[in-house]
Structure 1
Amino acid sequence: MKMADVYAKMKELGVTLPEPPAKGGIYTPVQEFGDKLLYCSGCGPAIGEENVIGTLGKDLTVEDGQKAARNCALNLLANLHDKLGDLNRIKRFVKVLGFVRSADDFQQQPQVINGGSQLILDLFGEEKGLPARTAIGTNATPGGIACEIEVLVEYE
C-alpha cells in the first residue's frame, strides 16, 4: 500500500515548512549513521522573527508550550527536508526527545511535547509518525526558549 504524500498532507493541513534554522553552535544539524538512520540535533521554536521564550508553569501555559513544540517539529522537518531532499523518504520516526523549560512544580512536559508529536503524527500517520519518546523538564534552555526537541529517524 502506497502511503500518502507528506507534502500533499502538509498542503491539506495548511502546514508550511520554514527555512532550516540557523545553527546555534559548532555541530551538524542532521548526522547520518548506521544503516539509513539520521540523528537530528535539537531545534528550538524560533521560526523567522517568531519565537516562544519563557518558563512553563510560570509565564507560559501548556498551550503556549504546545505551539513552541510544534514549531520545534517544523524546524526539525525543515532540516530533514534539507538533508534528504524529500520527506517521503522517511521510513519512520524512531525516537523523539523533548526538553521543556519548566518551573519547579510543573509536571506536564509530556503534554507540551505533544504539540510537536501531534504534527508528526498528523503528517506521517501512526505507522511512521508514532515513535518512542521522552519528555523531560529542565530549569534552563538556550536563549530561554520554551522547549527544544531532537529526533532520530530511519529513511529509505
Structure 2
Amino acid sequence: MDNIYDILRQLGHELPPPPPKGGVYQPVVQVGNLLYISGQGATKAGVPVISGYVGGDVSLEEGRKAAVICALNALSCLEDYTGDLRKIKRLVKTLGFVQSAPGFHDQPAVINGASELFRSLLGPHNGVGARSAVSCNELPGNTSVEIEFLFEVRE
C-alpha cells in the first residue's frame, strides 16, 4: 500500500511550507491522540490565492480548488508538528467555511474538494470523517474558503 507522501505525489500535489500565523493561536494543539488544526485558508505563504464570493465572482470549481489548498496547508501544519504524516491515523472532523454569494447553497460541494483529497490519501474509512460545511459572509483576507480539521494520530 502506498503511503500518504506517495499518494500526494501521484495526485500531483506537494506540501507547501506551513502558513505564517495570522494571530495569537497555535496551528496545531494536541489533546491525547487528537490533533486540532486551526482554520486554514486558501493561501500560499499567508497570501490568499483564491478570494471572493463562491457563487458570485468565484466558481464552484474554484471553490473546490480553494478547499484543496486549505487541506494541503493543514497537512503542512501536521507535518511540521508531527514530523511525519504517516503518523496520521484518521480524519475525525472537518469544519468548512465558504464565503458565499447571496443565494449560493452548495457549500458541501465546495468542501468536497478537501474531503475527496483526504479520502484519496487515507482511504474510505480513515479519510472520511464527520463534517460540517457552512456559509459565511466574510473570511479573513477575503479568502473564499477556510477549513479546520481534527485528526487522530497513532500512539
Q: Which residue of 2 aligns with 1:20?
A: 18
Aligned CA-pair RMSD: 1.2
> Does the aligned pair in 1 maintain the 2:48–2:143 contact within 8 Å?
no
Give the TM-score of the pair, scaled to structure 2: 0.95
Give, in angstroms, the shift of residue 4 of structure 1: 3.1
Give the TM-score of the pair, scaled to structure 1: 0.94
| Aligned counterpart for 1:39 among listed residues 24, 33, 36 | 36
Q: How many residues align?
A: 153
2:149 matches 1:151: yes
Residue 52 of structure 2 aligns to a residue in which SS? coil
Structure 2 letter corresponding to 1:12: Q
Question: Which ranges in structure 2 are unaligned for 5 or more consecutive residues?
Answer: none
Query: Quick check: 143-152 or 120-129, which moved more?
Result: 120-129
Equivalent positions of 1:40-55 (< 5 A) are 40-48=37-45, 51-55=49-53
Query: Quick check: 13-22 or 48-57, which moved more?
Result: 48-57
Q: Which runs of 4+ in 1 moved over 2 A?
A: none
Residue 35 of structure 2 aligns to a residue in which SS? strand
Give, in angstroms, the shift of residue 11 of structure 1: 1.9
Q: Identity across aligned pairs (percent)?
A: 47
Q: Which residue of 2 aligns with 1:88?
A: 86
Equivalent positions of 1:136-147 (< 5 A) are 136-147=134-145
Per-residue CA deviation, residues 77-129 of structure 1 (Å, 9 max, x unaligned), is: 00001111111111100000000000121000000011111111111111211
| CA–CA separation in structure 1 for the residues paired with 2:48 and 2:102 | 26
| CA–CA separation in structure 2 for the residues paired with 1:15 and 1:124 | 15
